[in-house]
Structure formats: C-alpha cells, structure tokens
Amino acid sequence: MEFLINGAALYDNGKFAEALVSFISGCESLLTKAVTESLPAQSMSDTASMAACLWQNRAATLLKLRRFSDAGKCAQHARSLNPKSDSSCIVGARAALQQGLVGPAVELFAKALEISCRQRSKTSVVVDQRSQLLRPNWSHEDVARLGY
C-alpha cells in the first residue's frame, strides 16, 4: 500500500520517473508476498486488485514519460489481473493512440465504456468519469477513497 500512496504523491508532483520506481517496487513486493506466503483466497483477491492498480498506475506513469509501448503492455497486464477495470482500458487506449494504433484504441475505449455501463446506472456519470479518467491525477485522497 505504501508504494501506491508514495507513487501517487510523486505522480501528483510531476516526478514521474520516481513514481514509476515506486509502482515497480510495489509490484515486486506484492509478487514476493504472493509467492512466499500462503494467503487465503480473499487475501489473494485483494492482492490481485492491488497489483492491478499498481500496474495501471505504472502504465499511466509510462504515458507521462512518453514510453507508449511499455505503457500499453502494463495496461494489458493490469487488465489481465482485473478484467473489470475501465481505467486500465482507458490507459491502454491512450497508449495505443499515441502509437497510431487507432483500431485497438477504439476497441479499448469501447471496452471501458461497456465496463462502466455495467458498473454504473446513469450514462451521465459514465461520461463524466470518462473525462476524468482521460487525465489521471491520483492524489492521496483518491488512493484512500479506493481503500488502498
């Protein structure tokens, strides 16, 4: 959790390289924990959710560093850990657009909208969330609100 909070603070302050190191360290720490500890099913689920969030943040940070191919790969990994994540679809779509991959970008944006529509009952909320997710700006409060 500390890696996520520290990384978010660094990201908020425009220290993207340092934020990336924090998110990478968090992913490695979670992997070590998952491998070395016998975790109950709920803990494994929580660990996978946290890992997905860290990978999605890695992807967003890589976008800021203009490492679009790497961002796309991290977003894809985040989606594999949490297929219900609309924000990892958005980051993946942005990475694809930056690489000129319009078709995959449109597919990912559509997937994000589909996920959001399933999770939210009002389209206006979905549209508002889309505009916010296109400009990720994680703060300590955002991370705390997610329960991490």
Query: Can you give the three-state secondary structure of 76-100, one letter per residue?
Result: HHHHHHCCCCHHHHHHHHHHHHHCC
Please tell me the total number of residues recorded for the chain in this structure. Answer: 148
Which amino acid is residue 71, in one-letter code?
Answer: A
Nearest Cα neighbor of 88 from 65, 62, 67 is 62
Task: Output the pTM of the full model.
Answer: 0.72
| pLDDT in single tens digits along all 148 residues of the chain | 777 888 888 888 899 999 999 888 888 888 777 667 766 656 666 777 888 888 999 999 999 999 999 999 999 999 998 888 888 899 999 999 999 999 999 999 989 988 888 776 544 444 444 444 444 455 555 545 544 4
Nearest Cα neighbor of 55 from 86, 24, 83 is 24
The string of DSSP codes covering 36-79 is HS---HHHHHHHHHHHHHHHHHHHHHHHHTT-HHHHHHHHHHHH
